[in-house]
């Protein structure tokens, strides 16, 4: 069985590791740092039954604005390419994406339309960030603390049938304001937790060449959300970041210290190795 992270290693061998080890890429244009990110979502793996087309548009925009936010950037624009199984779905999807963009300060500025047997949406986000506020997954240092914003696991709980968290799952809120405030406050590394805290800690560990020691008791849990869900389920779009102890609290950011950065290279929870699993795409065939 291979997953998307295995395939990313193939891509990384071709275009370079620095291009595949962050939520976004950064391109310098004159004095500006332009931030770019793209995501593909499709019906069978990302849009649970019961979502409206408006919510599908909203979620598609939110996942990409979340990546832009995780770099400390201000979002500018979003492009949405829709592979439609039914042509009439375009209105709801476009309205949802536009509303999400407007809420978070971006413009839905273009896209593409084609036929597709399974509803498939690709969103591409563009943002801008100053040199000093540009954040990546590469700056975590042993001795830093590691923190998350929001309450992870709610989207996962909804996927398992908890109705109270349905909106968390289908109308996720990218942490655009929080990402910017944390970047300005001087965090050392940052990413979003779209695929769950566990996988994100492994991603951060690989990019920063560090380890983590977190504690189950520190995980911020909403009612009815198990520590297991908080660690291993995705779709919450909070931010995972590291920083020196002196930086917190950051005014306007609701976050929780879940552990510390170590130099061991291992991701441990209460002394036990965290499983490397979360939300990922898998293929049965070997490559
Ligand atoms: N097919 C690809 N070709 C080139 N770069 C890629 C490809 N797939 C992913 N990347 C790059 O690799 C980096 C990591 O991608 P990944 O999809 O894991 O991150 P992400 O978008 O933050 O996660 P998520 O998919 O959960 O939103 C990103 O910078 C992305 O642009
Ligand atoms: C069945 C189901 N499981 C989880 C979610 C939550 N979710 C929405 S987008 C996303 C990650 C980004 O996607 P990608 O990694 O494809 O870019 C996740 C985890 C969902 N909506 N439906
Ligand atoms: Mg991301
Ligand atoms: Mg993404
Ligand atoms: Mg992706």
Q: Where in the chain is the domain with CATH 3.30.1330.10?
A: 2-132
Q: List pLDDT tens digits, range 98-154.
A: 999 999 999 999 999 999 999 999 999 999 999 999 999 999 999 999 999 999 999
Question: What is the pLDDT at residue 116?
Answer: 98
Sign of CA dihedral 83, 87, 93, 95: positive
CA dist 132 and 16 (Å) reads 24
- For the cut 70, the answer to whether the pLDDT of residue 287 exceeds it is no
- For the cut 90, the answer to whether the pLDDT of residue 259 exceeds it is yes
Q: Is 44 exposed, middle or buried (0-12, 13-18, 19+ CB in 10 A)?
A: exposed
CATH of domain 135-280: 3.90.650.10
Q: Which residues surround ligand 4, an ion (CB under 5 A)?
A: 39, 67
CA dist 192 and 194 (Å) reads 6
CA of 8 to the centre of ligand 1 (A): 7
Q: Where in the chain is the domain with CATH 3.90.650.10?
A: 135-280
Contacts of 52 (CB under 8 A, 6+ apart): 92, 96
**Alpha helix segments (H runs only) across the chain:** 4-15, 43-46, 53-70, 89-103, 154-159, 166-170, 176-185, 197-208, 227-232
Q: List pLDDT tens digits, range 37-61.
A: 999 999 999 999 999 999 999 999 9
Which listed ligand is nearest to 191 at the C-alpha? Answer: 3
CATH class of 2-132: alpha beta
CA dist 276 and 205 (Å) reads 12
Which listed ligand is nearest to 17 at the C-alpha? Answer: 1
CA of 88 to the centre of ligand 3 (A): 30
Atom of ligand 1 nearest to the CA of 279: 26
Question: What is the pLDDT at residue 1?
Answer: 87
Question: What is the pLDDT at residue 285?
Answer: 65
Place of tokens 């800690």: 201
């Amino acid at each position: 069985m291979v997953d998307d992270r295995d395939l990313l290693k193939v891509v990384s061998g071709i275009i370079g590791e620095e291009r595949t080890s962050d939520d976004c890429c950064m391109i310098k244009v004159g004095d500006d740092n332009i931030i770019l990110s793209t995501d593909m979502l499709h019906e069978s793996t990302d849009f649970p039954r019961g979502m409206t087309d408006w919510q599908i548009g909203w979620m598609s925009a939110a996942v990409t604005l979340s990546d832009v936010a995780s770099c400390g950037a201000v979002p500018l624009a979003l492009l949405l390419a829709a592979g439609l199984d039914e042509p009439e779905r375009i209105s709801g999807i476009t309205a949802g994406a536009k509303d999400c963009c407007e809420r978070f300060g971006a413009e839905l500025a273009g896209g593409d339309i084609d036929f597709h047997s399974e509803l498939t949406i690709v969103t591409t986000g563009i943002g801008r960030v100053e040199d000093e506020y540009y954040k990546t997954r590469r700056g975590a240092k042993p001795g830093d603390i590691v923190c998350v914003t929001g309450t992870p696991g709610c989207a996962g709980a909804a996927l398992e049938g908890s109705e109270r968290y349905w909106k968390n799952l289908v109308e996720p809120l990218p942490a655009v304001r929080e990402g910017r405030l944390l970047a300005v406050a001087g965090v050392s590394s940052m990413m979003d937790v779209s695929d769950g805290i566990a996988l994100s800690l492994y991603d951060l560990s690989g990019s920063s060449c560090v380890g983590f020691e977190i504690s189950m008791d520190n995980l911020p849990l909403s009612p009815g959300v198990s520590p297991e869900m908080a660690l291993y389920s995705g779709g919450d779009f909070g931010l995972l970041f590291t920083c020196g102890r002196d930086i917190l609290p950051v005014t306007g950011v609701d976050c929780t210290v879940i552990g510390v950065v170590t130099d061991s290279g291992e991701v441990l929870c209460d002394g036990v190795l965290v499983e490397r699993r979360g939300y990922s795409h898998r293929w049965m065939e070997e490559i």
